[in-house]
Chain A
């Protein structure tokens, strides 16, 4: 039962990453590569009708996590207090940038909200990457000092950084050189993903041709970063891949990741505009699933020897609740599938003429 809900939460999170990922990515592209008003308009039209529906996935995954794994929800949300609240602020700020930019046509007004939208998108990509890094690295559960827990075994609190910025320090911080590396991977990967979405959803233009070149070059950076992170992971955790050795079937996830990554080197020869988006989605889902599979059944490792890691088995709600949940969840999922189908059916194709921001 725990395993079922774990797969549900992770799948929903995967969907969220792919969907809001292209939103953030489009924001990063907007920040660095949108030169003309036409480029900017194309980008906001490509994500305009979708972005708030995509964020509903975050709310939904939060709700399901809360209900199925309440102890994890309590522990992680209070322990990662500051970055989570900052993510909320950035999400709000980003929404303001998107929605209020078009209200007054004045260059200063537009410049401010363009930057707000772009910078908060970039920071969100960075933060989500850092968050993944924190989960892989683990935290000091129970806030152990000199071998003694100073709080309940499953609680902790992390400041944004500690002065050493080291993932192996006694007093950890949210940002250290390992988690920062994952944050940068997040930015680069989502920039590629966002560029692919823009190519997919807008008419062929000078910007789109240029974006294919950007994707091609960023892909080299991404490959280098991924390899570096795998090497560093070895330093922090002696046997990071033991799950893949014991359960060879799981190797499918890393395979997906690298299919996505290497596939994108051919981006310039893709005939169909959606193909690039498919490959970057494979990379994101594969990368996320590989990371989760590597630490399974842990969901939050412990960096001390006193308190055990949080696993799906010691953070889950009781049997009865999880069982009733299946019934309503199955119905809800069918409905959601139907809505998504209808929505994309009606808004399929290029979005340039939707007139987003003018309503």
Chain B
């Protein structure tokens, strides 16, 4: 019963989050182009903004239709969790609906259909409000997520219900800001890599070359800044939070089975063997993990052996791989973007074909990094729904049979497959058509 509930949530949220991770960052790039147009009055920038707005709108629509099932599933599949904690997480979820969705959807329509009606300055403003709405949405979702990771401002009644006793604590949760900023930086990475990849595609294809240059240039500059922000300070702060509040998760994701006196090594590669509590084929660098976590080379990092097995994350290998894939990709992103920006300043980037090819083929990888990053957060919280308070098994709907859940899971897989194919067709069509050529 629990298995299919978890699979369905995992499948639908993974698919859903392919879209918001692009739109949040892309909204910023769209208003950047629009702002450049207002400043320079060069038509190219307006056409670029409109081109990316089309891709934004399509992704936004996908985000909306796949987002409604996320909200509903709290009630349909996780009824017990909703009943017990709805008075708290319902606050931030309802605020998301009221504050951000209305803002986004109202002004997106105006941004798409209203350029002639509104005039350029108001048109920029509507774009800015769409950006504000999408970032507020991310903030309120991560406030909800943070409460599950690190519950604050609550008390538990005798009947087991969680009630809120401090509203502002939801927003001063120490988990919230590092997670939010890390997530937004990751969203910026996805969107700037996508912009750079499409630009590289145009340049390599010798099509829309003016736009190709603009997209590659914008993409790699935004890409480098956001990749660095992803690691420092946001990734660093978040990892320290995990070490502080969820030490067992930290040990599992780093692959530390045993505490080492005199400092822990950082594991670069290796396959965890949970039964025998060891890593196969590992490549590690001594003492680095202690330094990164506590700023001291010798401080002990607690290994899994220090914790009760019933509190271990349910799927240690997947958690470990997700984390190492995320960190590995993040490091590669910084390297490639730094190289690209270096070539840009030497004015050689647009002719360095191998870097352009690399930018093109990097396109799927920020999506993988974002997805694995969220897997770290969600698998790392297991076996808890609300950390240290409510176990995942206690949160599922008591009356929905596994047969019914498998039925709907299969339905979602089929429908999302269709949706995904149609989405790709449509994106391909927009990219093939390209931005409106400049009029001189």
Q: Is the A/B pair a real complex?
A: yes
The answer to whether A66 touches B112, judged by C-beta atoms less than 8 angstroms apart, is no
A342 to B114, CA, bound (A): 12
Q: Note all chain B residues with C-beta closer than 8 A to A325.
A: 91, 94
Knowing A52-B64, A152-B398 are in contact, say whether A76-B75 is a contact too (CB < 8 A).
yes
Q: How close is A132's CB to chain B, nearest CB, in angstroms?
A: 18
Contact of A53 among B69, B105, B407, B411 (CB under 8 A): B105
Interface residue? A297 (CB, 8 A): no
Q: Is the CB of A74 within 8 A of B103?
A: no
Q: Which residue from B75, B114, B415 sits with its C-beta under 8 Å from A74?
A: B75
Q: How far is the CB of A330 from chain B (nearest CB, A)?
A: 10
Is B67 part of the binding interface, using a Cβ–Cβ cutoff of 8 Å? Answer: yes
Please encode chain B, from 164 to 183, with 1 for each CB lying within 8 Å of some chain A CB and 0 for all others: 11010000000000000000
Q: Judge whether B426 is part of the interface by a CB distance below 8 angstroms.
A: yes
Q: Is the CB–CB distance between B75 and A336 below 8 Å?
A: no
Asked if residues A329 and B75 are in contact (CB atoms below 8 Å), the reply is: no
Does residue B240 face the partner (Cβ distance < 8 Å to A)? no
B338 within 8 A of A: no
Tell me how far the C-beta of A352 lies from the nearest C-beta in chain B, rounded to whole angstroms. Answer: 13
Q: Which residues of B contact A296 (CB under 8 A)?
A: none
Stretch at the interface among A85-93, A164-172, A287-295: A85-93
The reply to whether B164 and A318 form a contact with Cβ atoms under 8 Å apart is yes
Q: Mark B398-440, 1 if CB is under 8 A from A, else 0.
A: 1111001001100110010011001001100100000000000
Q: Is B299 an interface residue (CB 8 A)?
A: no
Expressed in whole angstroms, the minimum distance between the Cβ of A126 and any Cβ of chain B is 18
Whether the pair A78, B87 counts as a contact (CB closer than 8 A) is: no
Instruction: Name B residues whose Cβ lies closer than 8 Å to a Cβ of A.
Output: 54, 57, 61, 64-69, 71-72, 74-77, 79-80, 82-88, 90-91, 93-99, 101-103, 105-107, 109-110, 112-114, 117-118, 157, 161, 163-165, 167, 397-401, 404, 407-408, 411-412, 415, 418-419, 422, 425-426, 429
Q: Which residues of B contact A354 (CB under 8 A)?
A: 113
Contact in complex: B86, A85 (CB < 8 Å): no
A81 within 8 Å of B by Cβ? yes
A125 within 8 A of partner (CB): no
20 of the cross-chain contacts (CB-CB < 8 Å) are A55-B68, A59-B68, A62-B72, A66-B71, A66-B93, A70-B87, A71-B86, A74-B75, A75-B79, A78-B77, A81-B397, A88-B69, A88-B72, A95-B65, A100-B422, A318-B87, A321-B88, A324-B167, A347-B113, A359-B113
Given the known interface contacts A74-B80, A78-B398, A78-B399, the answer about A332 and B90 at a Cβ–Cβ threshold of 8 Å is no
Q: Which of A90-128 contact B (CB under 8 A)?
A: 91-93, 95-96, 99-100, 103
Residues of A within 8 A of B107 (CB): 339
**Complex CA–CA separation, A47 to B98 (angstroms):** 22
Report how many residues on chain A are interfacial, defined by Cβ distance under 8 Å.
Answer: 65
Q: Which of A49, A61, A66, A143 contacts B75 (CB 8 A)?
A: A66
**A336–B118 CB distance below 8 A:** no
A333–B98 CB distance below 8 A:
yes
Whether A66 lies near B76 (C-beta < 8 A) is no
Give the top 6 A-B pairs by smallest Cβ distance, nearest first: A70-B86, A77-B75, A67-B90, A63-B94, A317-B87, A63-B97
- Say yes or no for A204: interface residue by CB 8 A criterion: no
**A52-B61, A56-B105 are known contacts. Are A62 and B429 too (CB-CB below 8 A)?**
no
With contacts A63-B93, A317-B163 known, what are 8 further pairs, Cβ within 8 A?
A49-B113, A56-B64, A62-B72, A77-B82, A81-B400, A95-B65, A155-B398, A336-B98
